[in-house]
């Protein structure tokens, strides 16, 4: 085990917190404070998604992002997927994906060209995995076109592989995970609708919505099938969609995907959000064979039995019972849904019980996270919002919506979520049409920061300058499924969640806010083969690094 | 199928063209009448087909329940509630995309889910609740209660009431 100790605040954080706090936090009962520092961090380049008027559905989806340490220097770097800018029926700009190295001093340096990842296809999403077992994070980009796998060469550069596993067309979410316990990482790809570039370029807004003409879809457009590729262990992948049981039986419109152990049997199951259709929940039997159990698990529909417009998702163990709960972000004028995991693949819609109905009803929601943002030991929620129709700005007042929307910050107060968006600093006052969201400790001060991708605009980098309600631990333990800490008589559990959010990747380390404590009495790490690592009497506010 | 019907209609119209004057030729009317029968029969056949699918899920649920396979029974109950699995949902989506709504008026009134043929929204909610209750039931009394709730909703649906 290697222990890296990073204590408390940086001087910069303290100064900014003090300044921001005087304006936004005084008299406020929100302990959370976020400041958008994208511009000063060098993240000024926009990511594109079609035309201003968005006549085709492809132009509504935005792009994802990834926070991961590509050069293994201990801090989180940023990959931003980019789309195209269109002008009428012409391609005005083929947006190049953007890769930024975290310089560790609050600045991100554009290393796209040097790293060799500046592809200019119309990008949609991203996944991070280790496809060749060299312990270096490889990069996978989903596109409207052919997807690309980049292998990390360990010298700060990537090599685009000639033969990729790919969905031809509009692929969206992607995850690498070892489905069959053979030691290598397989790939699941979600796809949305079947469309051609010609259809996109010549699309017209013909659907009548709130008295306005807007883009058509997804109904009226053919779905495109999700695919699963098995890693053969020698750098090649084979399509094993049908034999694995990961078929997209309904050709539903899929967006976010996450691999996670939902029944505690130490293999990774799969959850897929579907727009306007029931979400998929695939149960892994431990050998890489899956059974779709969404409809009868209770996690595919809301409590009324309705299919919703699943966009993004988050997962976390809200009540520390050892079972991962699910939060699915949905469309405007429909609530985002929280599914409590009752065990044995039974889920209960507890949206109302948790106080989420009112706050999530009007936003059109995408990327999201369940993370402890104030370090008090429970999980809070942040949701990226933005409408798909630019015409929403001309909609009747009764629509209560707009294309650009503020993001939503929901503070966990005793098991109910309180909307503190308006009281949590200038970062939450940013109004954009947001899509992807990734979480990680970007400045190394122990609390979680966020990056949000925005349609036709630069990203928002939300530095967490919140009032601290406790200590923290960051645990790097590759492949571990679960980290359990005991503090006195209390227990906190964090699970491995791969993917989730919306076509984006968050830092894969376990982050634990601990509440007010100086010491953790016990830490237990669990791996898929059942092996455990147990440590006792651990000092807090530090990064712990484990190998198997 | 679509192509064959189109060609048939075209052929009938072409044959009838020389006689076209003040009225629609009888052969054309007859062909349209035959088409109408097919269209109306198709609707009835769709209803009967979905009832047969639902009957299969109800029967499967009953057998599994009696065998004590409660997870399997609950799954069949949920499939009944959803008028089939996701593959059936995909077919339903295709029909909707093609402009076919079996219960268009009922959908507008909120009685039916889009594309659903037999199971109403209210019934769906009750059936899903029964399925979930069966999976969570701790004893035979609770299991039987869940089954009774399911059976009570299923019976009139299959009887076309």
A280–B113 CB contact, under 8 Å: no
In three-state form (DSSP H/G/I as H, E/B as E, the rest C), the secondary structure along A424-489 is CCHHHHCEECEEEEEEECCCCCCCCEEEEEECCEEEEEEEECCCCCCEEEEEECCCCCEEEEEECC
B134–chain A Cβ distance below 8 A for any pair: no
Q: Which of A119, A99, A118 is nearest to A110 (CA)?
A: A99
Q: Give the residue on B whose Cα is nearest the Cα of A276.
A: B93
Angle at A226 between CA A160 and CA A97, to 5 degrees: 35
Mean pLDDT, to the nearest integer, of A365-393?
Answer: 98
Residue B135 confidence (pLDDT) above 90: yes
Q: What pLDDT, in 10s, does the model give residues B31-71?
A: 999 999 999 999 999 999 999 999 999 999 999 999 999 99
pLDDT band at A235 (very low <50, low <70, confident <90, very high): confident
- Write down the pTM of the prediction: 0.92
Burial class (CB in 10 A: 0-12, 13-18, 19+), B120: middle
Average pLDDT over residues A336-360: 97
Q: State mean pLDDT over A10-28.
A: 38
Q: Distance (Å, rounded) from C-alpha A475 to C-alpha A172?
A: 29
Confidence bin at B27 (pLDDT 50/70/90): very high
Note which residues in 260-289 of chain A have CB less than 8 A from chain B.
277-278, 280
Residues β-bridged to residue A172: none
The arithmetic mean of pLDDT across residues A232-257, rounded, is 95
Q: Is the pLDDT of residue B9 over 80?
A: no
Residue A219: per-residue pLDDT: 85
Task: Give the ipTM.
Answer: 0.84
Q: Does A221 touch chain B (CB under 8 A)?
A: yes
Q: Please say whether the beta carbons of A402 and A392 come within 8 A.
A: yes
What pLDDT score was predicted for residue A25?
42
Across the interface, of B75, B87, B125, the residue whose CB is closest to A249 is B87
Quickly state the pLDDT bin for A486 (edges 50, 70, 90). Answer: very high
The DSSP H or E segment spanning B124 is helix B121-136
3-state secondary structure of B65: helix
Q: Above 60 in pLDDT, residue A26?
A: no
pLDDT of residue A18: 34
Q: What percent of chain A has pLDDT over 70?
A: 95
pLDDT at A100: 98
Q: How confident is the model at residue B5 (pLDDT cuts 50, 70, 90)?
A: low
pLDDT, position B13 = 58
Among the partner-chain residues A219, A294, A346, the one whose CB lies closest to the CB of B96 is: A219
What's the rounded mean pLDDT across residues B6-33?
73
Whether A9 has a pLDDT exceeding 50, the answer reads: no
pLDDT score, position A40:
97
pLDDT for the residue A8: 36
DSSP label at A392?
G
The Cα angle at residue A506 between residues A503 and A510, in degrees rounded to 5: 145
Question: Is the pLDDT confidence value at A6 over 50?
Answer: no
- Answer whether A296 sits within 8 Å of B77, measured CB to CB: yes
In which band, very low, low, confident or very high, does the pLDDT at B20 lie, cut at 50, 70 and 90?
low
* Residue B12 banded pLDDT, cuts 50, 70, 90: low
Does residue B3 register a pLDDT over 60?
Answer: no
Closest CA to A318 of A273, A278, A356: A356
Q: How many CB atoms lie within 10 A of CB A500?
A: 30
Distance, in Å, from the CA atom of A139 to the CA atom of A127, rounded to the nearest integer, reads 6
In angstroms, the separation between the Cα of residue B8 and the nearest Cα of chain A is 28
Say whether A220 sits in a helix, a strand or coil.
Answer: coil
User: Are the Cβ atoms of A252 and B85 closer than 8 angstroms?
Assistant: no
What burial class does residue A197 get, using C-beta atoms within 10 Å of its C-beta: 0-12 exposed, 13-18 middle, 19+ buried? middle
DSSP 8-state secondary structure symbol assigned to residue A23 = I
Task: Check CB contact of A349 with chain B, cutoff 8 Å.
Answer: no
Residue A327 has, within 13 A of its CA and on its CB side, a CA count of: 29
- Tens digits of per-residue pLDDT, A164-200? 899 999 999 999 999 999 999 999 999 999 999 999 9
CB contact under 8 A, B124 and A277: no
Residue B10's pLDDT band (boundaries 50, 70, 90)?
low
| Angle of CA points A419, A253, A494, to nearest 5° | 45
Mean pLDDT of chain A: 94
CB A519 within 8 A of CB A500: no
Question: Nearest by CB to B81, which of A221, A249, A305?
Answer: A305
Residue B80: pLDDT above 60? yes
Instruction: Give the end-to-end CA distance of chain B in Å, rounded to a whole number.
Output: 33
Query: Could you give the CA distance from residue A406 to residue A432 in angstroms, rounded to a whole number?
Result: 7
Judge contact between A411 and A374, C-beta under 8 A: yes
- The larger pLDDT score, comparing residue A317 to residue A222, is at A317
More confident residue, B120 or B11: B120
Q: Tell me the mean pLDDT in the region B93-104.
A: 90
Q: Above 90 in pLDDT, residue A336?
A: yes
The three-state secondary structure class of A91 is strand
Chain B nearest-CA distance from A156, in A, is: 44
pLDDT for residue B97 is more than 80: yes
pLDDT band at A266, cuts 50/70/90? very high
Average pLDDT along chain B: 90
Mean pLDDT of A261-278: 97
DSSP assigned state of A118: -
Instruction: In whole angstroms, give the CA distance from residue A25 to residue A23.
Output: 6
């Amino acid at each position: 085990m290697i222990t890296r100790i990073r204590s408390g605040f940086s001087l910069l954080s303290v100064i900014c917190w003090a300044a921001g706090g005087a304006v936004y936090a005084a008299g406020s009962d929100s302990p959370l404070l976020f400041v958008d520092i994208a511009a000063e961090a060098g993240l000024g380049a926009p990511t594109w998604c079609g035309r201003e008027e968005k006549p085709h559905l492809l132009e509504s989806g935005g792009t994802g992002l990834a926070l991961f340490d590509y050069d293994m220097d201990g801090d989180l770097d940023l990959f931003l997927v980019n789309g195209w800018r269109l002008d009428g029926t012409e391609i005005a700009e083929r947006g190049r994906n953007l890769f930024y190295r975290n310089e560790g001093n609050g600045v991100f340096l554009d290393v796209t060209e040097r790293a060799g990842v500046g592809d200019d296809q119309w990008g949609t999403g991203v996944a991070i995995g280790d496809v060749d077992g060299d312990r270096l994070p490889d990069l996978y980009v989903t596109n409207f076109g052919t997807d690309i796998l980049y292998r990390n060469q360990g010298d700060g550069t990537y090599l685009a592989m000639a033969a990729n596993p790919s969905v031809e067309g509009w692929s969206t979410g992607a995850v690498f995970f070892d489905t069959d316990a053979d030691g290598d990482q397989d790939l699941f790809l979600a796809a949305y609708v079947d469309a051609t570039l010609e259809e996109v370029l010549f699309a017209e807004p013909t659907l009548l919505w709130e008295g306005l003409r807007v883009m058509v879809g997804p109904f009226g457009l053919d779905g495109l099938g999700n695919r699963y590729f098995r890693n053969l262990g020698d750098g090649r992948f084979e399509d094993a969609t049908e034999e694995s049981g990961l078929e997209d039986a309904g050709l539903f419109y899929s967006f976010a995907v996450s691999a996670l152990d939902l029944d505690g049997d130490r293999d990774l199951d799969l959850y897929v959000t579907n727009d306007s259709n029931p979400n998929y929940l695939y149960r892994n039997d431990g050998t890489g064979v899956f059974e779709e159990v969404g409809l009868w698990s209770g996690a595919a529909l809301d409590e009324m039995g309705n299919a919703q417009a699943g966009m993004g998702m988050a997962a976390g163990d809200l009540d520390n019972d050892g079972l991962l709960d699910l939060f699915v972000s949905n469309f405007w004028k429909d609530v985002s849904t929280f599914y409590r995991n009752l065990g044995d693949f039974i889920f209960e819609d507890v949206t109302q019980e948790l106080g989420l109905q009112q706050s999530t009803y009007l936003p059109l929601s995408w990327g999201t996270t369940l993370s402890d943002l104030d370090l008090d030991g429970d999980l809070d929620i942040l949701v990226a919002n933005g409408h798909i129709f630019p015409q929403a700005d001309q909609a009747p007042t009764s629509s209560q919506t707009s294309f650009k929307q503020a993001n939503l910050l929901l503070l966990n107060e005793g098991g109910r979520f309180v909307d503190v968006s308006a009281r949590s600093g200038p970062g939450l006052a940013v109004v954009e049409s947001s899509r992807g969201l990734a979480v990680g400790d970007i400045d190394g001060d122990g609390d979680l920061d966020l990056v949000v991708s925005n349609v036709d605009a630069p990203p928002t980098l939300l530095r967490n300058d919140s009032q601290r309600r406790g200590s923290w631990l960051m645990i790097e333990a590759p492949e571990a499924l679960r980290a359990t800490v005991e503090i006195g008589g209390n227990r906190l559990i964090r699970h491995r969640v791969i993917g989730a959010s919306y076509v984006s990747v968050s830092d894969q380390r376990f982050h634990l806010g601990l509440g007010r404590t100086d010491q953790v009495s016990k830490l237990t790490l669990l791996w898929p083969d059942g092996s455990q690592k147990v440590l006792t009497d651990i000092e807090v506010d530090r990064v712990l690094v484990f190998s198997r | 199928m679509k192509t064959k019907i189109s060609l048939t209609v075209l052929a009938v119209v072409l044959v009838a063209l020389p006689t076209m004057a003040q009225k629609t030729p009888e052969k054309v009317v007859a062909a349209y009448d035959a088409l109408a029968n097919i269209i109306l029969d198709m609707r009835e056949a769709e209803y009967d087909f979905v009832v047969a699918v639902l009957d299969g899920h109800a029967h499967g649920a009953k057998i599994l329940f009696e065998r004590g396979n409660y997870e399997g029974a609950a799954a069949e109950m949920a499939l009944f509630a959803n008028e089939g699995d996701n593959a059936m949902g995909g077919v339903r989506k295709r029909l909707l995309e093609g402009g076919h709504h079996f219960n268009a008026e009922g959908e507008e009134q909120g009685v039916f889910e889009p594309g659903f043929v037999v199971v109403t929204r209210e019934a769906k909610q009750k059936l899903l609740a029964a399925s979930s209750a069966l999976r969570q039931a701790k004893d035979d009394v609770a299991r039987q209660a869940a089954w009774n709730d399911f059976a009570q909703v299923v019976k009139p649906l299959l009887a076309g009431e």
